[in-house]
Chain A
């Protein structure tokens, strides 16, 4: 385990109980310069997670609560006429933060959603003809309610593709919940955590992640998994090459986090469900047979042989 990241994780664990895996995955996304889609019901600690993460890096934390009447300008910012200077002045929207929590992203209209997603992909916003770069690190953690809920606008496939990982938070266990209550008695715990890394250090780590070695056989393995999703009977639309890139980047970040300078198939196997599941468009059959995207990916992993030799030797 990388020591710096270990520190961050321990920091987060001061306020988040039993969510080690979510924290790890969030850091993976952060290190891989990707964004996270958290799918879960309200109140399980999504905001706390993002805030703790932001605080650990001493990064600027912004939050956007998406509602049906939210406008794109509410996200990216707006130019306001300043009578004093007689000029339009740009007021940056909440998207211009380092760590952004986009809450209930599927409650808003597709127009606003796409404004956010464009900003996420390009790391820039265009307002009144001016393109403004968003500062690095730029990390969006969007949450969405399970799709079945009423009054939601499901995100289009192309937009889902922009999230590196989709994570489910899940409810805490009983023991964990008791612990949460115990901590809640002592007032707001988020105030207790301090920054353990600077933003500059984070950016340095992000650069180091890019140097993590991926052996060709492991690349092949990723491609094999990706192409299997395209051949699966339950899948209407398999994952895109962008997804394969995402898998590689996430694997690099994960390997880095685990203190390795190379990716092993274990990393790939571990991350594939998080990277792929939200990018699959399933056929109705899957729903009839009660098969989820995660299960399909599990099956694909189970039938794909793991590379145990260097490519040249195979």
Chain B
């Protein structure tokens, strides 16, 4: 009687813990599916646990649970009270509706009430399983691991924050596993279960669980040092654009959260026919939030231009006599202008208003009307084609190098917004920048040093591997110091932030890279620009010259024309300022995927690139192999003997196969903890094995083996019979 009471208390204790663990399961589900009434679900869990705790007869317990489910559904989904006449029609109605839908395959059409019933049934099954695990197997480990996995997954891929839940589950799970382990141990040893002795084991276990969790909780935890794999997994599973921190494909307006992989999309945006290669500028952003770019929000005025009227931007233009035209054919018409460096004017076929925002320098296109048109009113005009007149500016290197750092101190306060930085920016960003620019005299050289810093070998361009910064992480800091892998946004944002950290005004520019150049005809090329070409780069202010664009992203090269008007006695300068026009090479770098598709010639590089592109496949394969290896290793004491039985069955029954099988047997015995000590004789070992496995076969085998080893002449032995003994024994070791 006392014993059964004790068992009952133990079971009750286990169920209380299970209840709390299940509550951790329920909470995120409720939270994520916006289901209310989680108390009612908890009551159901409690009810089911209590019923199985008191060993209520299955029929009765089933009826009670069914009753509760019915009441639950009626209470929640029916407008009428339970004991009104409407209950039965409601139930009948629900059942027919859902059955019809299920049998006709419209699974999406089933009612909420039915889903709730299914969910409750799931809980029911789960509790039955748990009951089985606890009372029969005395092992809850798998459930425990699954719970942790479940919460970790939800924590990683959804808004649900499982930090506290994980701790709770770990503590509860450890206690539970410990208690069950003691129970298993006791059953195995058949030891008397007196209360005092039990507490002697349980108490230290509880204390160590408490200690471990406390230490783990308060220990400082290092952030992840590897690239965050989550964005990749999300992109693979097609979850792009769900939740936060995703990068949408191509050009987009929202840059407040940068990071994450860049998914390929080669939709053609426009075709530009031009003599020169251009960076296609759309707008700029000035405020860095440590996660991405936003606007400072100040109204900086607007400028309105018309067809063929000179357009003024903050950028330099070349001399009028070098004026050229670009023909823009928009495949996807946009309500704003694709600008280029050195732009003088634009002309479209129809009268159009070009309204430039003073803050972003974005130029929207509007339908002219009688009234005053601003960015906020008037109807947008989508231009299909237009012509840009431009003259590329030439910058004098001599003049650029005259930009003294001291000149920055006398800048107009309107430049302050280009020096903005978040307070949370780690100091090491500035330290790094100072380090990189230390021995550069002019502002221009400093900027070039920062621009070139990324190609020093530490950084890698990869559209897929870019990480999303964690809550307390800085986007730039993460890229510069931790991940060192990313695409244009990482490089350009980092460069802007670095420049600002040493007081050089800089802004972040968005638009498109030059695109895919076609064949030359009449001195003109067709540049096809796709969504893949969406790009970001940097404009920095060089005192004495003005805003100049810079290209920090590895694999891209800018279009700035520098006049090498320096004297020839400064060769080291020339090394810094490489000639920038290398169209063929550029395209290769910019469009690696396209190239692969177009060019069918074999190349090792491409094979390697392909292999590298399958990196995650390799990782997965490796992980799988490792898991399989570990599983095989852990389970080796069960599968190796089975294999050996087969192997030795095929062999002829003689001394040599007996010898080998005997050795195999001793190894297998070692695996299950029966290892011969080096001073132990074979006979003593055999006795120990037989005592432990409750057989006599080992002594039989050993007697023969011993005689063969220590004896003078071999006697006649029935090896077939010995093999039977051996098989019996080795099977005995498995289970």
A302 in contact with B710 (CB, 8 Å): no
18 contacts between A and B (CB under 8 A): A213-B710, A213-B712, A215-B712, A217-B709, A217-B710, A218-B710, A263-B710, A264-B682, A264-B706, A265-B681, A265-B682, A269-B681, A301-B679, A302-B679, A303-B679, A306-B679, A306-B681, A308-B682
Residues in B with CB closer than 8 Å to A136 are none
Contact of A261 (CB < 8 Å), options: B680, B683, B684, B712: B712
Q: Which of B622-671 contact A (CB under 8 A)?
A: none
A264 in contact with B681 (CB, 8 Å): yes
B678 in contact with A215 (CB, 8 Å): no
Residues in A with CB closer than 8 Å to B413 are none
B680 in contact with A306 (CB, 8 Å): yes
Most buried by B among A260, A263, A264, A301: A264
Most buried by A among B683, B710, B712: B710
**A266 within 8 Å of B (CB atoms):** yes
**A309 within 8 Å of B (CB atoms):** yes
A215 in contact with B710 (CB, 8 Å): yes
Residues in A with CB closer than 8 Å to B712 are 213, 215, 261-262
Residues in A with CB closer than 8 Å to B683 are 264, 266
Nearest chain A CB to B658 CB, angstrom units: 14
**B192 within 8 Å of A (CB atoms):** no
B707 in contact with A262 (CB, 8 Å): yes
**A182 within 8 Å of B (CB atoms):** no
Residues 284-311 of chain A, each 1 if its beta carbon lies under 8 Å from chain B, else 0:
0000000000000000011111101110
B709 in contact with A304 (CB, 8 Å): no
Given A301-B679, A303-B679, A305-B679: A266 touches B684 (CB 8 Å cut-off): yes
Residues 429-471 of chain B, each 1 if its beta carbon lies under 8 Å from chain A, else 0:
0000000000000000000000000000000000000000000
- A213-B710, A305-B679, A308-B709 known; 20 new pairs, CB 8 Å cut-off, are A213-B712, A215-B710, A215-B711, A218-B710, A260-B711, A261-B711, A262-B707, A262-B711, A262-B712, A263-B710, A264-B706, A265-B710, A266-B684, A269-B681, A301-B679, A302-B679, A304-B679, A306-B679, A308-B676, A308-B682
Q: Which of A223-264 contact B (CB under 8 A)?
A: 260-264
Residues in A with CB closer than 8 Å to B678 are 305-306
Contact of B682 (CB < 8 Å), options: A263, A304, A306: A306
Q: Which of A43-62 contact B (CB under 8 A)?
A: none
Cα A304 to Cα B706 in complex, Å, equals 19
Q: Which residue in chain B gives the minimum CB-CB distance to A211?
A: B712
Q: Which residue in chain A gives the minimum CB-CB distance to B715?
A: A261
Q: Which residue in chain B gives the minimum CB-CB distance to A264?
A: B710
A266 in contact with B681 (CB, 8 Å): yes
Residues in A with CB closer than 8 Å to B679 are 301-306
A residues within 8 Å of B by Cβ?
213, 215, 217-218, 260-266, 269, 301-306, 308-310
Cα A251 to Cα B358 in complex, Å, equals 108
Q: Which residue in chain B gives the minimum CB-CB distance to A313?
A: B709
Residues in B with CB closer than 8 Å to A302 are 679
Q: Which residue in chain B gives the minimum CB-CB distance to A306?
A: B681
Cα A265 to Cα B710 in complex, Å, equals 9
Q: Which residue in chain B gives the minimum CB-CB distance to A308?
A: B682
Cα A306 to Cα B683 in complex, Å, equals 11
Residues 677-692 of chain B, each 1 if its beta carbon lies under 8 Å from chain A, else 0:
0111111100000000
Contact of B709 (CB < 8 Å), options: A215, A301, A305: A215
Q: Which of B5-52 contact A (CB under 8 A)?
A: none
Nearest chain A CB to B698 CB, angstrom units: 14
Nearest chain B CB to A189 CB, angstrom units: 35
Nearest chain B CB to A264 CB, angstrom units: 5
Residues in B with CB closer than 8 Å to A269 are 681
Residues 707-735 of chain B, each 1 if its beta carbon lies under 8 Å from chain A, else 0:
10111100000000000000000000000
Cα A266 to Cα B680 in complex, Å, equals 9
Nearest chain A CB to B436 CB, angstrom units: 65
Residues in B with CB closer than 8 Å to A308 are 676, 682, 709
Cα A219 to Cα B661 in complex, Å, equals 27
Q: Which residue in chain A gives the minimum CB-CB distance to B707?
A: A262
Residues in B with CB closer than 8 Å to A217 are 709-710
Cα A301 to Cα B710 in complex, Å, equals 19
Residues in B with CB closer than 8 Å to A305 are 678-679
A310 in contact with B682 (CB, 8 Å): no
Q: Which residue in chain B gives the minimum CB-CB distance to A262?
A: B711
Q: Which residue in chain A gives the minimum CB-CB distance to B666?
A: A308
Q: Which residue in chain B gives the minimum CB-CB distance to A299?
A: B679
Residues in B with CB closer than 8 Å to A306 are 678-682
A262 in contact with B710 (CB, 8 Å): yes
Nearest chain A CB to B490 CB, angstrom units: 63
Residues in A with CB closer than 8 Å to B706 are 264
Residues in A with CB closer than 8 Å to B709 are 215, 217, 308-310
A213 in contact with B681 (CB, 8 Å): no
Nearest chain B CB to A219 CB, angstrom units: 11
Q: Which residue in chain B gives the minimum CB-CB distance to A213?
A: B712
Cα A262 to Cα B715 in complex, Å, equals 12
Residues in B with CB closer than 8 Å to A264 are 681-683, 706, 710
Cα A305 to Cα B681 in complex, Å, equals 9
Cα A310 to Cα B711 in complex, Å, equals 10
Cα A117 to Cα B680 in complex, Å, equals 37
Q: Which of B320-336 contact A (CB under 8 A)?
A: none
Cα A266 to Cα B678 in complex, Å, equals 13
Cα A303 to Cα B678 in complex, Å, equals 8
Cα A265 to Cα B676 in complex, Å, equals 14
Nearest chain A CB to B317 CB, angstrom units: 92
Residues in B with CB closer than 8 Å to A265 are 681-682, 710
